[in-house]
Amino acid sequence: MRQIVLDTETTGLEPKQGHRIIEIGCVELIGRKLTGNNYHQYLQPDRESDEAALEVHGITTEFLQDKPRFTDIVSDFLNYIRGAELIIHNAPFDVGFLDHELRMAGTQLGDISTYCNVIDTLVMARKMRPGQKNNLDALCKHFDVNNSQRELHGALLDAEILAEVYLRMTGGQVHLMLESEQEEPKIGITVEQRRLSGERERLSVIKANDAELLAHRDILGNMGESCLWPSS
């Protein structure tokens, strides 16, 4: 399955008030592995960012002056996400802005649902952790994901962080690794396979104790509906 973890930065909170997307960051996962085929684009919004938004992302009007507009990159962007499953934290916000940009770029383009299914990790987190903070920073702390570089929000950085959070939320691999890094043979290294001989082949089976079984059930229970195995 091809999945795209997506995040955006914007000039403000509400597209109906004329706010625009200024950054799109996407990270590709195939078979739950980071491929390195990412998408990242800054955009010229033809307006100023609200002061509160500028404090969050730090992307200035001057920096964006020579960047392309959404209409300039829309074909490449849609070709990149087409047919994938989008993973977004607080999806209505990002999808709302993307749909707004698509409508402004041309009525024939449709909306994001024309091209992708969407998973909202905020909805997942609220089911797993009801009554708790479930913003990205809180989830990084809960799932022990390093977000020390996140002094300011950035679409690509946040997409990379969310990818790791998502994999931990869904019980997958803990550390992201490029597929090429994982499968590429180490040149010059000879791998020797040996079988255990005699009685050492008859290894003993050590069963989990009650405390370990209880901890295992807690982990499965915290995974919520994404868990494939019963926790009881």
Instruction: Indicate if 153 belongs to the active site.
Output: yes
pLDDT at 27 over 70: yes
Q: How many CA atoms lie within 13 Å of 10's alpha carbon, on the beta-carbon side?
A: 20
Distance between CA 78 and CA 41 in Å, rounded?
13
- Mean pLDDT score across all residues of the chain: 83
Tokens standing for residue 154 = 């950035």
Alpha-helical runs (H) found in the chain: 51-57, 61-64, 70-81, 91-105, 121-128, 136-142, 155-169, 179-183, 210-222
- Catalogue all structural domains in the chain, each as residue range(s) with its CATH number: 2-181 (3.30.420.10)
Q: Which pLDDT does position 198 carry in this prediction?
A: 44
Mean pLDDT (whole number) for 69-74? 97
Which pLDDT band holds residue 201 (cuts at 50, 70, 90)? very low
Instruction: Determine whether 76 is exposed, middle or buried from the number of CB atoms within 10 Å of its CB (0-12, 13-18, 19+).
Output: exposed
Region of 32 on the Ramachandran plot (φ > 0 left; ψ -120 to 50 alpha; else beta)? left
Which pLDDT band holds residue 151 (cuts at 50, 70, 90)? low
From the candidates 100, 153, 175, 216, give the one annotated as an active-site residue.
153
* Whole-number percent of the chain with pLDDT over 90: 66
Give the residue among 3, 166, 7 at the shortest CA–CA distance from 84.
3
Roughly what angle, to the nearest 10 degrees, separates helices 155-169 and 121-128? 40
CA distances from 26 to 7, 39, 141, 216 (A): 7, 5, 22, 33
Torsion of CA 88, 167, 39, 36, to 10 degrees: 180
Which pLDDT band holds residue 197 (cuts at 50, 70, 90)? very low
pLDDT at 77 over 90: yes
Asked if residues 35 and 17 have their Cβ atoms less than 8 Å apart, the reply is no
pLDDT at 190 over 50: no
pLDDT at 191 over 90: no
Mean pLDDT (whole number) for 205-221? 67
Lowest mean pLDDT among 11-15, 28-32, 184-188: 184-188
Asked if residues 24 and 77 have their Cβ atoms less than 8 Å apart, the reply is yes
Q: Which pLDDT does position 215 carry in this prediction?
A: 65
Q: How many other C-beta atoms lie within 10 A of the C-beta of residue 66?
A: 8
pLDDT at 68 over 60: yes
pLDDT at 63 over 80: yes
